[in-house]
Structure 1
Amino acid sequence: MYYAELKRANNELTGPGGDFEIVEQEILGNRIRAWKNAPPSVREVWLATLEFADRDYLVYHDEKLTYGETHALTNSVANWLFQQGVKPGDRVAISMRNYPEWMIIYWACCAVGITVVGMNAWWTAEEMAYALEDSDPAILFLDAERLARVRQKPDMVKGTKLVGVRLDDVPEDVIDWKDVIATGGDLPDIAVDPDSDACIFYTSGTTGFPKGAQLTHRGCVSNLFNMLYARASSALAVMYATGEVPPDPAPVPVTLINTPLFHVTANNCAAYAVTAAGGTMVLMYKWEAGEALRLIEKHRVMTVSGVPVMARELINHPDFEKTDTSSLLALGGGGAQVPPDLVLAIEEKVSTARPNTGYGMTETCGIITSVAADFYVDRPDSVGPAMPSYEAKCVDPDGNDVPLGERGELWVRGSSVIKGYINRPDATAESITDGGWLHTGDIAKIDEDGFIYIVDRKKDMVLRGGENIYCAEVEAALYRHNDVAECSVFGIPDERLGEEVGAAIVAKPGKQVSEDTIREHCGAIMAKHKVPRYIWILDEPLPRNASGKFLKRELRDRLSAKV
């Protein structure tokens, strides 16, 4: 393999005068690696797309918007927000499906320094209320499904103006989207601070409450450069090794957006990359493999990126062999470890597409690592090397570096690391320490070529189809049931989703609980995907260690054998 050539490409691209030159900058009080040529804010990324005015940008069902039409709409939204008294630094929330309006609102806000709060569309009314109180947005853009949840707890939007998107009937207390986009005008001329918050995305917290991660403009732009670098370095290494010259100009990308835009996978990675290249985003209302195949054929989609189960369902779908997928160049994704067999299956079954993956998290505005094509096929159990804008190391429980190739918690430091969590200085101080090092919570090892292998998770978490579900959050919900005495939540291996939520429960003396009542209880207070699929009602206390802690691993291993 071309690992020497990959190092040569890295040195050429990131060295003095390189397109991806790396420098150290003072960022939030620390000396941090950064891309010298990166624009200062998301505003510049969006404005640069004006040169693509006549190209198709957003496609949803039979609707199409060009870049020029989208810019006109973003200008209207930005001007309307200013008319409502919203200022740079204020927050605006989006709670809806993957409609074109999601991206229009996002770019409009970022382009004028207003912070976007991306709300999980799966949240229950109770979870929505928590996030709205936590983030305190001036405006909430929402669709019919989310409006119905607001009606369940109307106090959650006191002081917040509502804008309805794609409503059949617009209530009197809701502003019609049509009125917002009728505002017109040029984009306000605003200088955006690179270290101000571009958006706040919520990530589940170990305390039982989600944490609002502060993704800065610098971090979001840096993540875009991470992705651009990953492609450029891989292509250059292959050229050095084989003489194969990449096409110039590169084909204009068409990308299927098949994961929610309130996650960094779809927003910061897929959407940013295709937008910066002047490509087309084909939006899916929800994931369905057969529909994805239809869209790939109809729109000549080149890239599909989601959680691993999506790629597996795509290539195993009965319509796969009957569908023209010859436009596909890349298939893979992140959000969960891609099983090595799936890497090789993509390589074998999709004649035109190469497998790829990226490892990252909300707290890094997107990717930490990236690997694709020949490098991924050669090391299918790796997530690739850290991007040059990061320092990466594995440490023991005391924070000391472990030798190369040995396991330890992965820590990273770089310009894409978040500022912190809103209203949670304790959580920020716990996650980001020692001059800007982010503790990922993942156990990893790093080889002699810098390739990283994720081998376990330090965090007590279930990773279900790319969604982080913290066991403590589910346990907190279970304990709200009056008849539950003890409970322990853990992940159960699942072929389709990676993991499912399992729960062992002991009822209070003289009380009884059933699987149905537990599911009904959880479903009323938390999103459906967090509700345990596997429930064991035990008639004896949960096993504990000498300090009184539940022996969760022992419990999980014993019960999962019964699945």
Structure 2
Amino acid sequence: MSGQMLQCKRLDERRTPFINPTLRKDMASLFSSVKAPYKSIMSASDIQGPTRGTCKSWRDVYPELGAQVERITAPLGRGIAWEGTEIWAYKQRPANIVELLAANVVRYPNREAYVFHPSGQRLTWRQVGQQVQRVAARLKRDHGFEKGDRLCLLTLGCPEYVIAYMAIVSLGGIAVPVNLGLTAEGLAAQINKVSAKGIVVSPDIWNDKLESVRGNLHSVESAFMVGDVAAPGTLGFAELNREGQESFSQASIDEWDLCAISFTSGTTGVPKGTMAMHINALGCAQNIVHAAKGLSVDDINICMPPLYHNTAVYTDFMPALLTGGKCVVMRAFEPLQALKLIESERATWAVAAPIMLWMMMNHPDFGKHDSSSLKKILFGGHAASETYINQLQQCFSPVAMVNGGSVSESTALGFALPTEDAIRKITSCGLATPNTDIAIFDDHGNELTEPNQIGEVAYRGQQTNAGYWDEPGKTSEVFRKDGFVLSGDWAKIDEEGYLWLLDRKKDMVVRGGQNIYCIEVENKLYLNTAILRAAVVGVPDHLFSERLKAVLVLKPGHSITAKQVREHCAAHLAPYEVPEYIVFTQALPTNAAGKTLKPPLMDHWGEADSSASARLAAFCASMPEALLDKPQLKWDGNALTPREALIAVQSNNPLGQRVAEMVTRNGIVGMTKPNEARFR
């Protein structure tokens, strides 16, 4: 669920000061052997003997799930990086997404399939089937779309998104959801990367971003605009979906055909597209059904993440399609509206980022709305705290409460912590899903089989993607020939077979479920002529898990304010990629090779001296005014805003003396970090 929002968090080596002290010595030894921060010494193609995967699986713990999976072999000659490999897969699995939709139309023609908010549009399965049929037919007949063609989707949650996704897949084509938070150049890069034949775009994205780069979209033959009026240079999606019966010759589609491409940027900033097959999408959907302790046609999903996100597509949209149940699609998440929809639609299950659920539970009007129907809750993106789990229990009394995730290359749900272990193993990632193997490797490709050995975690199974689109070199670095896909995460497996993520090899920050690659932000900062050196790191945070921080050295004779830095970043980056903390310093720490040392920067605020008062003053000065009054500092059940903490320390009252002691002993970050294993 990843990540991306339910995607497993990739932790980087600058977090070592917060790792459990008992692991610190082993981690230091491990880091010393790593030659580059992004990839292992080994190539993914370097296989050192058979690999069994020592992580316990849900199929081991729950015999009824073990009886539902079997070993199958990936076919040869289909472009699958790990062809010929045996994997676990569900025995009773749909042949492909298209047949699943057709079955729902036949079985449940008059049942509601989708409800869209805020438009209020409702579609039955019969209506969905009819619209998908005519849109697919017209894409093929009038615009030349064939099997394998790519259609990029650039809208928020709306009927056109769902119909377009299913229509292109029905042709044997490939749906390409695109992150709408990207800049115009970022959107264009992803569209061009897949050589998209067409795009489906909302008016705001077209007018604000794509129209300015339309001339650079050389492969795009057709741009379909949603809404009532098509802008010049586009075609109305409504024309594709006009009334009338249409038919087309159905392409041969099987479970090993591609259905979607999802992008995950590397640290170079060049987008990589993970190639998902029908078997991947449906395997993830079946995992969600089991993790939620069963979903049926009578269950109602509320889809809160944006539909361009893997979480929404693979853990909300696809499981609802699998069961034939209703899916309530939010155009954009808003906590009060989510509560109202749960009440009015009697939603029974959801998969969401933890922050979404947190905002709902802590909304002042939470108690005014009946959310008692929501009994199956899945979330992920980072470890949960006991307080958070207890609050979920208190607010919803769920029968299923599951924290899970994976990497984009393994679709969305490769591991999950069973509800029964929510407290007992609270900072663990749990067990491999029924159709997944999880293994730990050293830097030379050898599997580590003894408990608590630290290495790079990898996933293999029904959800493992085919590879990266048009990136054979990068595919060979990550996708092993034995079917395991390397995650870039340091991890261990304990004596009970539970997975624990410890630190990440990739220089990435995850803020509220959104992946931010530090080098991409640094590259944009360097576009400002006043900046000489830039280093971007993540600062632990109780709300978002991490907030972004930029530490800057200015060129001699140049000046720039923190506000101007944020404005510069906002012009080149998505909103969530704009650093919230801005620190100016005289120099960045480096090693003997001149490489920036990031661990010391996490708790460096450009303070004039080391006193608690000076450090807190610099901390306050680094952030926007709006953050000064947020309770970011917590310890032993206490919470303070940065402004309150600074006033208390400057006043030298008993509270201030206690805060000063905490700052001196553990640093400011000691009070901003949540109770997550990776920050210990």
Which residue identity does 1:69 align to in structure 2? Q
Name the TM-score, length of structure 1 as normaliser: 0.90
Q: Does 1:228 align with 2:289?
A: yes
- Identify if the C-alpha distance between structure 1 residues 195 and 314 changes in structure 2 by more than 3 Å, giving closer, same or farther: same
How far apart are the structure 2 equivalents of 1:271 and 1:336?
A: 22
Which residue identity does 1:265 align to in structure 2? T
How far off its partner does 1:318 sit?
Answer: 1.1
Partner SS state of residue 400, structure 1: coil
How far off its partner does 1:414 sit?
Answer: 1.9
- Identify if the C-alpha distance between structure 1 residues 482 and 75 changes in structure 2 by more than 3 Å, giving closer, same or farther: same
Q: Is the 8 A contact 1:119 1:262 kept in 2?
A: yes
**Which residue in the other structure is 1:424 paired with?**
471
**Which residue in the other structure is 2:519 paired with?**
472
Q: Is the 8 A contact 2:441 2:455 kept in 1?
A: yes
How far off its partner does 1:69 sit?
Answer: 0.4
Partner SS state of residue 21, structure 1: strand
**Which residue in the other structure is 1:155 paired with?**
215
**Which residue in the other structure is 2:170 paired with?**
111
Aligned-pair Cα RMSD in Å? 2.4
Q: Does 1:127 align with 2:181?
A: no
Q: Does 1:67 align with 2:119?
A: no
How far off its partner does 1:498 sit?
Answer: 1.5
Partner residue of 1:550 out of 584, 596, 604: 596
Q: Does 1:94 align with 2:153?
A: yes
Question: Which runs of structure 2 are paired with 1:397-412 in the superposition (5 Å)?
Answer: 397-402=443-448, 403-412=450-459
Partner SS state of residue 295, structure 1: helix
Partner SS state of residue 101, structure 1: helix
**Which residue in the other structure is 2:662 paired with?**
none
**Which residue in the other structure is 2:93 paired with?**
38
Equivalent pairs: percent with the same residue? 28
Question: Which runs of structure 2 are paired with 1:90-489 in the superposition (5 Å)?
Answer: 90-148=149-207, 149-160=209-220, 161-167=222-228, 169-182=229-242, 184-186=245-247, 188-231=249-292, 250=296, 252-352=298-398, 354-402=400-448, 403-489=450-536
- Identify if the C-alpha distance between structure 1 residues 103 and 7 changes in structure 2 by more than 3 Å, giving closer, same or farther: closer
Q: Is the 8 A contact 1:289 1:317 kept in 2?
A: yes
- Identify if the C-alpha distance between structure 1 residues 41 and 449 changes in structure 2 by more than 3 Å, giving closer, same or farther: farther
Which residue identity does 2:174 align to in structure 1? T
How far off its partner does 1:205 sit?
Answer: 1.5
Q: Is the 8 A contact 2:414 2:436 kept in 1?
A: yes
Partner SS state of residue 398, structure 1: coil
Give the greater-gyration-radius structure (CA).
2
How far off its partner does 1:203 sit?
Answer: 1.2
Decide which moves more: 490-499 or 289-298.
490-499
Q: Is the 8 A contact 1:203 1:362 kept in 2?
A: yes
**For residues 21-40 of structure 1, what are the alpha-carbon distances to aligned partners after superposition, in whole Å with 9 as ceiling and x for unaligned?**
34444463231313243233
**For residues 490-538 of structure 1, what are the alpha-carbon distances to aligned partners after superposition, in whole Å with 9 as ceiling and x for unaligned?**
1112222221111111122332232222222222222111111111122
How far apart are the structure 1 equivalents of 2:579 and 2:346?
A: 39
Partner SS state of residue 358, structure 1: strand
How far off its partner does 1:353 sit?
Answer: 5.1
**For residues 236-280 of structure 1, what are the alpha-carbon distances to aligned partners after superposition, in whole Å with 9 as ceiling and x for unaligned?**
xxxxxxxxxxxxx95611111110111211101111111211111
Q: Is the 8 A contact 1:491 1:500 kept in 2?
A: yes
How far apart are the structure 2 equivalents of 1:517 and 1:412?
A: 43
How far off its partner does 1:124 sit?
Answer: 1.4
Name the TM-score, length of structure 2 as normaliser: 0.75
Which residue identity does 1:333 align to in structure 2? F
Q: Is the 8 A contact 1:34 1:222 kept in 2?
A: no
Q: Is the 8 A contact 1:307 1:336 kept in 2?
A: no
Partner SS state of residue 604, structure 2: helix
Structure 1 runs not aligned, ≥5 long: 236-248
Which residue identity does 1:213 align to in structure 2? T
- Identify if the C-alpha distance between structure 1 residues 464 and 414 changes in structure 2 by more than 3 Å, giving closer, same or farther: same
How far off its partner does 1:125 sit?
Answer: 0.9
How far apart are the structure 2 equivalents of 1:99 and 1:414?
A: 32
Decide which moves more: 137-146 or 182-191.
182-191
Larger RCO, structures 1/2 (Cα 8 Å, 6+ apart): 2
